[in-house]
């Protein structure tokens, strides 16, 4: 028999799926809540979490759990856990299982953002030119790298693209997800996509009915790990020794556009954010000191 809490987590995950959360996000929220479940069971002497136990979760309970998390996690990770718990209790309240929400008064830890790794335009160019276009996989990889940089995609957004997402005649790509949006394509991206669709993709898909834009080695949609390994490989070949992570090209996209004159509100639209606060990580970029530092750091930068 499925335990009460496990059944609730399945229902909660299904709810997030209907709300267009990515599979990766749903899995992370589920893991965070399973850790809360383990903590509650240990706190209650091994008793399984049922509805009565959830009704007994109060603000002090959450604060106690938050203190337990603080002994081993950084503020950013604590906030992710608390966000998962808030989503879960919102779901319980909306479902009529709870009449009050203990997360309403929870204060999240202050997070001081680390500045993202800053790639110069020259480094980005070197990275994007590393895959060999003469090989079908190289053409695919060059096209993916170009989209990550020219569109500012997250990895899961790139992976989720279908052939039908492209509107090459208009120079746009449609991003379907939690917040649907149309993102403009650079001329270089359009050219690479046309070549990829004609020369590389037809021989890589498992069957003719496959809809994914970028197939992996098995002929179906490429995996997140697969793309990340490719990015790390090409960063190494391009001799980029900076701290590289899956969002480095997304950060480069944002920083280079802001240095070129784009404002944060326009960046918010391209990223698909609802609120301007989500772009505060880049608020420092338009300051005179940052521009001066950037020019000194990369003398060939053409940004005004």
- What pLDDT was estimated at residue 251? 79
The reported pTM is: 0.57
Q: What residue ranges of the chain have pLDDT lower than 70?
A: 1-2, 111-116, 177-179, 259, 262-304
Instruction: Give me the pLDDT at residue 302, please.
Output: 44
For 4-94, CATH number out of 2.30.30, 1.20.1440, 1.10.150, 1.10.10 equals 1.10.150
Q: What is the pLDDT of residue 113?
A: 58
C-alpha 294/C-alpha 274 separation (Å) is: 29
d(CA 150, CA 186): 6
- Residues with Cβ within 8 Å of residue 120, at least 6 apart in sequence: 297, 298, 301
Structural fold of domain 121-297: hpI Integrase; Chain A (1.10.443)
Q: CATH 1.10.150 occupies which residues in the chain?
A: 4-94
pLDDT tens digit sequence for 181-236: 888 888 899 999 999 999 999 988 888 889 999 999 888 899 989 998 998 899 89
């Amino acid at each position: 028999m499925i335990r009460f809490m496990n059944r609730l987590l399945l229902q909660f995950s299904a709810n997030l799926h209907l709300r267009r959360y990515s599979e990766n996000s749903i899995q992370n929220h589920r893991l965070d809540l399973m850790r809360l479940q383990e903590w509650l069971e240990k706190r209650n002497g091994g008793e399984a979490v049922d509805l009565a136990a959830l009704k007994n979760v109060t603000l002090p309970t959450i604060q106690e759990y938050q203190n337990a998390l603080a002994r081993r996690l950084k503020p950013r990770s604590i906030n992710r856990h608390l966000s998962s718990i808030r989503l879960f209790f919102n779901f319980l309240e909306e479902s009529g299982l709870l009449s009050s929400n203990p997360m309403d008064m929870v204060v999240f830890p202050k997070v001081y953002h680390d500045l993202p790794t800053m790639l110069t335009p020259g480094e980005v160019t070197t990275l994007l030119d590393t895959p060999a276009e003469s090989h079908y996989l190289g053409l695919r990889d060059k096209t993916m790298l170009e989209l990550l940089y020219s569109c500012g995609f997250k990895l899961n957004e790139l992976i989720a693209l279908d052939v039908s997402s492209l509107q090459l005649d208009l120079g746009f790509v449609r991003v379907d997800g939690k917040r649907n949006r149309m993102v403009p394509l650079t001329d270089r991206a359009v050219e690479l996509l046309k070549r990829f669709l004609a020369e590389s993709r037809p021989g890589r898909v498992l069957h003719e009915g496959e809809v994914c834009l970028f197939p992996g080695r098995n002929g179906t949609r490429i995996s997140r790990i697969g793309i990340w390994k490719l990015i790390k490989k090409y960063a190494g070949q391009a001799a980029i020794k900076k701290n590289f992570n899956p969002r480095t090209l997304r950060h480069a996209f944002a920083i280079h556009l802001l240095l070129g004159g784009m404002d944060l509100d326009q960046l918010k639209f391209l990223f698909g954010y609802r609120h301007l606060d989500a772009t505060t990580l880049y608020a420092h970029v338009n300051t005179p000191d940052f521009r001066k530092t950037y020019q000194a750091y990369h003398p060939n930068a053409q940004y005004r």
